[in-house]
Chain A
């Protein structure tokens, strides 16, 4: 092993695996308590921090949030200490600042009207971070807590628990055709288009935009950016594009489907396969009726599972082709050395839950989800992604973002790729649901 066994406690990728699995094992042994999350509110902003049951306030989440902040600060500072990348005391102070901004981002996104618009915490976390970095210039004490890559990688290992392979059969072969045939074709088409036609120099940005467009928006962008070691600005651009176009597609796709009188199940499959984020898919699907909404959500869920494979193959392609500029075939050791190791944790968590935990747990799959995933790993994964978006904002500036635009090529890539995605998805959905399996649903 290059660097000896010390890489196991000196490299961030390995620490993401250790910390991710400490949390997963803690959840499975039920020693990690239910993780707090900021609640929803409509008119009274303080309601976001209250525990309300049957219109009666039963407590608040301030103390649990402070406990979570301390727990995450201590947990991540172990990695920071071993890697010797920062002073632990300064890191903890910075982490608390980043966490507070994360709470504000969640609080902003949980307002009822903001939820109806589909404006998620990722947008607000980025905007607050960008505001601070581009006006005040992020203070050093706060910057010490902005560990974007570490938060993303731990979040991705935890996300692995939700990549459950039993989900892919939820809609039978037609669902698989829409979600699993179209998606890889669109990614490859978009990447080729970006490199060969648009001549984009930034290959990382090209693959991140391609994955975000074809798989599931923000989550896919995060996973792919980490797998190909993309820059923070690349991820910010891809996420920004995805968030804007998701809202537009949520507004206009159901209207177009109703206007042309398309079969609602076909329309649902089309939207599930093309609109980037799940919430927007549900909102758009709901316009066509409750059955269409459920079909659209399940198609999206099947597509979400692809994120693990996409991250894995992007990581392999990057270490063997893109980063290997020697012109000769990379040896197995070279591939291993360059391979982003956290992907192993991501895939291992997915395989563990899909093929070990699920089959061993009595009852149906929802038992595992309700006991281990929903109250612990899922909420923590969202917290880590939120911290990552705050950190990205704090570390980015508009000048660097503008330099990544290459004359609007990422925008052209998104529009052309999404148009291709729309055409191919409707064609395959029609073939699957109307021609080959007309009685599938």
Chain B
């Protein structure tokens, strides 16, 4: 009996998994983020910042954006 329950559970898990792995897409606007992730190959599964391969470049780019914003503000003040 327990093996029967296990097989049923395994089949349910496999079905659940293949539903998502098969490229299922929610209809209309609700699937927009998923289509965007697929088009841009965005991995939405990292749990922690270090799981992101590009986090160091994001940090550098944000630093650059802040520098540019500071220069823009200084230039606006001078004018």
Give me the interface of A with B, judged by CB distance under 8 Å: 108-109, 111-122, 124, 127-128, 131-132, 134-137, 159, 162, 167, 170-172, 216-219, 250-252, 254-255, 277-280, 282-284, 286-287, 291, 293-295, 297-298, 300-301, 304, 366, 369, 373-374, 378, 382, 439-441
Contacts and interface: CB of A to CB of B under 8 A. Distances in A.
B67 to A, nearest CB: 10
A298 B59 contact: yes
B49 A304 contact: yes
12 contacts: A113-B22, A114-B21, A159-B48, A171-B66, A250-B33, A277-B48, A279-B44, A279-B51, A287-B33, A297-B52, A369-B56, A439-B70
Contact of B52 (A119, A135, A137, A282): A282
B13 A128 contact: yes
Contacts of A136: 2-3, 5-6
Given A137-B2, A294-B62, A277 B52 contact: no
B36 interface: yes
A357 to B, nearest CB: 15
A374 B50 contact: yes
B31 to A, nearest CB: 8
Given A369-B56, A441-B66, 4 more contacts: A114-B20, A280-B44, A282-B44, A439-B73
A128 B16 CA distance: 12
Given A119-B45, A254-B33, A111 B56 contact: no
Q: Chain B interface secondary structure, helix, strand, loop or mixed? A: helix
Contacts of B29: 255
Interface in B11-45: 13, 17, 20-24, 26, 29-30, 32-34, 36-38, 40-45
Contact of A122 (B13, B20, B47): B47
A359 B9 CA distance: 52
A112 B24 CA distance: 12
B49 A278 contact: yes
A162 B44 contact: no
A355 to B, nearest CB: 19
Given A301-B59, A304-B49, A113 B44 contact: no
A171 B62 contact: yes
Contact of B45 (A162, A216, A279): A279
Contacts of A298: 58-59, 62
A112 B2 CA distance: 33
A336 B53 CA distance: 39
Contact of A286 (B42, B45, B48, B56): B42
Contact of A278 (B8, B33, B46): B46
Given A114-B20, A218-B47, A251-B33, A278 B52 contact: yes
Contacts of B38: 113, 116
Contacts of B50: 162, 369, 373-374, 378
A216 B66 CA distance: 25
Contacts of A119: 20, 45
Contact of B44 (A108, A118, A135): A118
B22 to A, nearest CB: 7
Nearest to B51: A278
Contacts of A441: 62, 65-66, 69
A439 B69 contact: yes
A169 to B, nearest CB: 10
